[in-house]
Amino acid sequence: MKSSLKLPLRLIALALLTVVVQESAVSQISIFGVSADLTPLVVMSVGLLAGSMPGAIMGFGTGLLVDTVLVQTLGITSLLYIPIGYWAGRLRELRDPAHGLVPLVAGAAATAATGIGMTII
């Protein structure tokens, strides 16, 4: 297999696995009346690890998968996840953060942006 296809195939497999685990198991667990959401964290992680364009593409694909699985209006979740992946990737490209708390803060910001965005939409 060509080496140029390894990253896209891994990201597709990661998106599929994340959406399946999120919708089949994690969304059923409720802590203090709120269920966890793994998908913005995975999109943010891909942005931090791979850059802005792979992060944005991962956000679009993951959001489209979530909308398809939940039978929602297509594109709503993608609209929220694209900026999350893009800005996490831009943070990596511009600042190259090396501190150990960067993923924690970026994950909190991604989760907050998703929650606020879903409330507004």
pLDDT tens by residue, 73-96: 888 899 999 999 999 999 888 887
User: What pLDDT score does 67 carry?
Assistant: 92
Q: Looking at the predicted structure, is the pLDDT value of residue 1 above 70?
A: no
Burial of 13 (0-12, 13-18, 19+ CB in 10 A): exposed
User: What pLDDT score does 103 carry?
Assistant: 87
Q: Looking at the predicted structure, is the pLDDT value of residue 10 above 70?
A: yes
What letter represents residue 87's amino acid? Answer: W
Tokens found for residue 111 = 């989760």
29-49 pLDDT, tens digit per residue, is: 888 887 888 999 999 999 999
45-74 pLDDT, tens digit per residue, is: 999 998 899 999 999 999 999 999 988 888
What residue has token string 């929220």?
A: 80
User: What pLDDT score does 92 carry?
Assistant: 87
User: What pLDDT score does 80 carry?
Assistant: 93
